[in-house]
Structure 1
Amino acid sequence: MDIKDLINLLEKYTHYSDIKVDFFDLVHEKARHKSITYFDVKSMLPELNDLAHYVHFAFLQHKATQHEFIRILKANSFPVIVFENTQKLVPIIISPVREGKIVVEKIESHRVLSYTYKNVEELLANIHNIGSLVQISGQSIDLDPKNDEIHKDQIYFISGFPITSLAKSVNDEGLHHHDGIEDEEEHLYSNHSQKHITPFARLLNLLKSERREISQIYFFAILIGLINLVVPLGIQAIIGLISGGLLINSVVVLITMVVLATILAGWLQVLQLSTVEVLQQRVFTKAALEFCFRIPKIKMESISKHYAPELINRFFDVLNIQKSLPKILIDLTTATLQIIFGLILISFYHPLFVLFGMLLIVLLFIIFYFTGPRGLRTSIKESIFKYKVVQWLEEMARTLSTFKLAGFTNLPISKTDHYLTGYLKSRQSHFKTLKTQFISIIVFKVLITAGLLILGSILVIERQINLGQFVAAEIIILLVISSVEKLISTIEVFYDLLTALDKVGHITDIPLEDTRGVDIMEFSEDKGVEIDIKNLTYKYPETEKYVIKNVSIHIEPNESICIAGYNGSGKSTFMKIISGLLHQYSGSLTINGMPLKDINLNSYRDLIGDNLSYQDIFEGTLEENITLGKSMISLSDLLWAIKKVGLNEFVNKLDNGLKTNLTAGGHELPMYICKKIILARSIVEKPRLLVMDDFFYPDRVEKREIINFLTGEDAIWTLIIVSNDPVVMQMTTRTMFLKEGEVVEEGKYETIKKTYSYQKVILGLVE
């Protein structure tokens, strides 16, 4: 299975997922740089996800027992990918049931073979026609539920899902249109700070992306609004029949119709509520998947002045979106439609009601036109201070020991009070706007009540409408008043929804890294990478000072380089550029002869092992912290890495061994153990480039052993390490000294130790 088969697989899968994508860029740009053949799912899945990134898709691998898999197929509303159990890797797409049939497509040797079945049973009964599915035991599917062996076999399958934006403008979403994916890519990789997307535009995008469910909700709302009008019309007819002394049978029929209409309206409300519940679940799921998709791909420069965990707090506004949607889609929609339908209905009773209804609608428009924007601004400002309060509380929790050991200090409470004051002022300003709107709506409500009562009474007295019409009009008035009260209660919720979308947009608008480019595996040999740097210059966004200035160095494959220097000399920034974390540099940086900017970053990072100072332990098992969940890492490689960094004795003493759960930050572990875990993480994949900060080892002998392993003749990587330790300098091939972003010394240790920079920085000698 090669890249063209993968593209066919992706195109077919998105087709069955009802996602329209232009694959021109994938076929004509991506494919021409690929010649790798995939023989197993583990090696294929990362490449499939890399391709899927272009079309905003993601894929996950699953396994299920045969009975579970059958249930999934029967209840499935999305396609699944299984694999033929042969020597080759042959994917098979099983579509969901549509138009009474299941389509199965097998992709092999750039061809697509299609099979059609009436139902799941027929598919499974004829599974031998397309090949047995990949299972642990390698047996074909058995439909006999009495077979005890069936539970021992598990089927591997893959499912995909679209990563659709929850809070982007409709005009910015170019991905799922026939005009290609280029617009979306430019959107992802551009600087969004130069663009302003209004909260209302984000709301339109949310409604558009869920238009099927929204349409159902609006359809139910219209039906409910119309059916609710049956009640006043029925009562009007009943009063007319009774006052006219007509047959009781007709009255019974009308009463029955009114009761049935009420029941039908209630049933439709239940359906509407169920649809909203599905929508709420979809919103949360889509938001979580989108955040998960975007966070690892965020451009580091774009958040250089922000604390990333604090930014992610905006995810909690997804809960506000969930809670606001039912109010907006049910209460607000129903209330608005009932007001409109009610005013339209009474307009049939007399022409004066038409003029009265138009006047009220104009009044309602004026209220929200002049107070709406101010209400949104104050709501967003209020939200800003809420997040400032949360950020400060998180900072106190993060630096808990600092504040505990500080003794008496008023900083925590004074800073909290400062942010709370800002919040309360913003909240009061927002409430002032809400109060103005509430008063205006109450005036609107009084005008409706008084106007219709007075106008209706005059028309009855002048015999221009009858008593039944007047009673019906009064019932309509009660419905309209009830709807106005719903309108009042949803005003603040509407602001909360727009504000929540704006906050979520702060994350979804952050530009992503451009991962387009050539796969480095296409031109890499089985040795360390070769790096050539010429006139490398870099400064951080929105700053004038250059951190790296005209740095030039050539690093041979399997060479070890020590980066030493003064404090603030740009050592960490240099390592970030080498690692592909910072992109806006000038000058030349080539990897194995290819410019880094032309290389696919994901493929490049697969060759990198890094042990930089900003790496940390995350919440998960010890095994997960070392392997990062990469299925390609074997158990033997994991044990090799643990042994090489001296972790084996520590792991052997743990009750749960590699399955021991670690807390975020690894606070329960000694610092040197955390360093060893991160070092094991950096070497477990046997990378071709190893970039490292100096690591803390209390045992100098153990540290020398580690350095000897990293720089030895058997090392398969090119090593770049930041350190001012003479031991490290002595054991590496060369040392490069940095000062204020410039190279001031370079050479072997015997030469470097005689220089002024070494005497001053390393030995601390002063002239």
Structure 2
Amino acid sequence: MGKVINLHATRKTLFAILKPESGFFWVAIAYGVAISLMTLAVPIAVQTLINSIANIGSTRSVIILAIVLFLTLFVSGIFSALRMRIMEYYERKVYARLTAIISLKTIMAEHRFFEGRQNTNITQRYFDIMTLQKNVPSLMVDGFALVLQMLVGFTLVSFYHPMLFAFNLVLVLVMYTIWKIWGTGAKRSAIELSHAKYDSAKWLNDIAAAHEFFKSADHVEYAGRSTDTFINNYLTKHKNHFHYTFAQVVMFLLLYAFASAALLGIGGVLVVQGQLSIGQLVAAELIMSAVFFGLSRFTQYLKLYYELYGAAEKIGSALVIPQEDVNEKADRVPTSSQLIFNKLHLTHGSDTCLIDLQIEAGGKYFITTNKSWVQKQLIGLMKRYEKPQKGELLLGDLSLYDFDTYELRQAINTLDRSLIVECSIEEYLRLANPRASFAEIRAALAVVELDTVIDALPKGVDSKVSVLGAPLQPLEFLLLKLAAVIIEEPKVLIINQHFDAIPLALRLRLLNRLSELNCTVLYFTNTPEPHCLDGVIYLKDSANVVAAKPAKDSIIDQEVAQEGASDE
């Protein structure tokens, strides 16, 4: 079932999006009014010229009339140029404002909104900003000029004779009827067409994101069927939208032909009857011919207006991304790495886990659990993505909710294979600590034994890495993240099971080096090495801590030596 379309709400959203730049529109309208009034100088001058030649026949008056007409149109041209410049400023302003808002809304969104790569296509709404940049200036310049030309033309010609007033009134009523009959369907179909466009874009993005998934026969066939479905859906919506807009085009073209012939007939009869002068008829024909020509192009601007509904609906959805609840009064910065779990209850359905323990500052523990959901929920609580239902979690002597949200997340780091921003290796490491020197970066890479791998890349630390670390191997990507941790020096480091994939000898060496860090380390693992860290925390229905045996250093050295001998 398709999404319910509320045209009233979409119209409110459209005007809300346009409102901050309303100052540009009022200036453009003022210029448009002045330009339209000055444009009337042409038919008025023609009427005056005809009357002057017929009654006076003075060359001097003709020259003066030509000079006045030139000056009027010259000023009109200046106003037209200024109006174009104003709309250029509008295009820059609306782009900067909406791009900044969408960027900020995306960053400040609730974690669960984008969790698991959900809703990532919402940032594609950005491209409808270009629809606003393209359509609004056309409507404000050409569209408004056309409407104003019609209003002024109808008003001026109506003063020539009551019959012409009645003719113009009927014309306006017919235009309004055409708009009402097909306008609502055109706006609704424009929104549906926009939905189909973004559905197709999301599908193409899914193909690129899961490229390897479509490398088998059945999956290729599925991709072909799905692509056909999206294509057919878009073409159906496009056809439906065209049905409404084409009907309006035909009706306005018929109205153009009828109105042109009717004006000539009515005006001719009035001239024959002596109720209208030749000059007035010529002026009326000049004025109304421009109006009637505008009628034939009126649907072009209606299409632009309908497209704004589709753009507003999509941009509006990006502007209402659920935002994270940040306590602005909490402004403390974490200084301690001590963790206190004060009767913290974790729950998942009917399953529970009670954690009631204290980890001293700098403590380093393996964590094992038979509950697959515990790790994700515990990290969510520590990062303040979720709130504890029962119990409390302290960092030092303070609750996590006493700290500034982003300072807290800076202090609690997770080592996993989550996505990063595409950048160079050096840029990524400097994001961990902008004040880090190049020597410190090289030292961190050496600690994780990644320096030779980086040096082998064509551009070294200047090499670009993708969001998943390519061209580095998955293991090397994890080591790069560990180097960033060493540079950043967080208060708490949480390591997940991806670290288990590191070869044993290297993993033991890295754990030995991690023991030298001042931070608290929680290593979720399926294969704990009890002698490497301070102990093992077993999370079942409750937490149970088993301390490490005292001889851990000698055992680590022995295991590393044995692994090195087997490699040789």
**TM-score category, normalised to shorter length:** 0.7 to 0.9
User: Partners of 2:547 and 2:157 in 1: how far apart?
Assistant: 95
Deviation at 1:620, TM superposition (A): 1.2
Q: Structure 1 residue aligned with 2:413, among 591, 609, 612?
A: 609
Give 1:477 shift: 1.0
In the alignment, the residues of structure 1 paired with residue 117 and residue 74 of structure 2 have an alpha-carbon distance, to the nearest angstrom, of 55
With over 3 angstroms needed to count, the CA separation of the structure-2 counterparts of 1:585 and 1:196, relative to structure 1, is farther
1:746 to 544, 548, 552: 544
CA displacement, residues 581-611 of structure 1 (integer Å, 9 cap, x when unaligned): x235523443334443453211212212222
Task: Name the SS for the 1:513 alignment partner.
Answer: coil
Distance in 2 (alpha carbons) for counterparts of 1:549 and 1:317: 46
The residue type paired with residue 569 of structure 1 is W
The amino acid that maps onto 1:482 is F
Equivalent in 412, 423, 446 of residue 643 of structure 1: 446
Q: Which residue of the other structure, out of 161, 164, 168, is the alignment partner of 1:353?
A: 164
- Output the CA distance in 2 between the equivalents of 1:729 and 1:452: 100
Name the residue aligned to 1:564. Answer: 368
Indicate if the aligned counterparts of 2:32 and 2:141 stay in contact, CA closer than 8 A: yes
- Conserved 8 A contact 1:579-1:691: no
Deviation at 1:250, TM superposition (A): 0.9
> CA distance change for structure 1 residues 520 and 606 in 2, over 3 Å: closer, same or farther?
farther
Contact 1:518–1:599 (8 Å) recurs in 2: no
- Deviation at residue 387 of structure 1 after TM alignment: 1.5
**Bigger shift: residues 274-283 or 220-229:** 274-283
TM-score (norm. length: structure 2)? 0.87
State the shift of 1:196 in Å: 10
- Identity rate, percent: 21
In structure 1, give the amino acid aligned to 2:382. I
Gapped regions of structure 1 (runs ≥ 5): 1-192, 540-544, 752-767
CA contact (8 A) 1:218 1:329 kept: yes
Going from structure 1 to structure 2, the CA distance change for 1:564 and 1:438 (only over 3 Å counts) comes to: farther
Cross-structure match for 1:442: 253
The residue identity in structure 2 corresponding to 1:663 is S
Q: Matches of 1:533 and 1:375 in 2, distance apart? A: 60
Q: Which residue of the other structure, out of 199, 223, 242, is the alignment partner of 1:431? A: 242
8 A Cα contact 2:432 2:485, kept in partner? no
Q: For the aligned residues, what is the CA RMSD?
A: 2.9
Change (3 A) 1:626 1:381: same
Quick one: which amino acid aligns to residue 638 of structure 1?
Answer: I
- 1:611 and 1:667 map into 2 onto residues whose CA distance is 17
Change beyond 3 A, Cα 1:529–1:256: farther
AA of the residue aligned to 2:178: I
Aligned residue among 186, 189, 205 for 1:375: 186
2:519 aligned to 670, 695, 717, which one?
A: 717
Question: Are residues 340 and 718 of structure 1, via their aligned partners in 2, closer, same or farther at CA, if it must alter by over 3 Å?
Answer: same
Separation in 2, partners of 1:227, 1:257: 11
Structure having the higher Rg: 2
TM-superposed deviation, 1:732: 4.8
More helix by share: 2
Alpha-carbon distance, 1:340 to partner: 0.8
| CA distance, structure 2, for counterparts of residue 728 and residue 282 of structure 1 | 60
Whether the aligned pair in 2 keeps the contact of 1:299 and 1:512 (CA below 8 Å) is yes
Q: Distance in 2 between matches of 1:408 and 1:586?
A: 43
Match of 1:147 in 2: none
- Structure 1 segment 432-511 matched on structure 2, within 5 A: 432-511=243-322
Q: Distance in 2 between matches of 1:196 and 1:373?
A: 8
- Name the CA shift for 1:366/1:684 in 2 (closer, same or farther; >3 Å): farther
Matched to 1:489, the amino acid is: Q
Aligned counterparts, 1:175-194, within 5 A? none
The CA distance in 2 between the partners of 1:702 and 1:399, in whole Å, is: 31
Displacement of 1:365 after TM fit? Answer: 3.0
Q: Hey, what's the Cα distance between the residues in 2 that align with 1:286 and 1:323?
A: 16
* 1:517 equivalent among 328, 335, 347: 328
- For residues 555-604 of structure 1, give each alpha carbon's deviation from its aligned partner in whole angstroms, at most 9, with x where no partner exists: 42323343433474342233133222x23552344333444345321121
Contact 1:228–1:262 (Cα < 8 Å) also in 2: yes
User: Which deviates further from its counterpart, 241-250 or 440-449?
Assistant: 440-449
Map of 1:736 onto structure 2: 538
Equivalence for 1:668: 471
Match of 1:575 in 2: 379
**Aligned mates of 1:749, 1:437 — CA distance in 2:** 80
Contact 1:562 1:721 in 2 (8 A): yes
Alignment-derived partner of residue 511 in structure 2: 707
Listed as ranges, the matches of 1:136-215 within 5 Å are 198-215=9-26
Q: Normalising to structure 1: TM-score of the pair? A: 0.65
Aligned-partner residue type, residue 487 of structure 2: V
Name the CA distance, whole Å, in 1 between partners of 2:263 and 2:209.
Answer: 62
Which residue does the alignment assign to 1:221? 32
**Corresponding residue of 1:688:** 491
* Partner secondary structure for residue 628 of structure 1: helix
Matched, 1:528 2:332: no
With over 3 angstroms needed to count, the CA separation of the structure-2 counterparts of 1:632 and 1:654, relative to structure 1, is same
**How many residues end up aligned between the 2 structures?**
542
Go from structure 1 to structure 2 and tell me whether the alpha carbon gap of 1:598 and 1:482 turns closer, same or farther (over 3 Å shift): farther
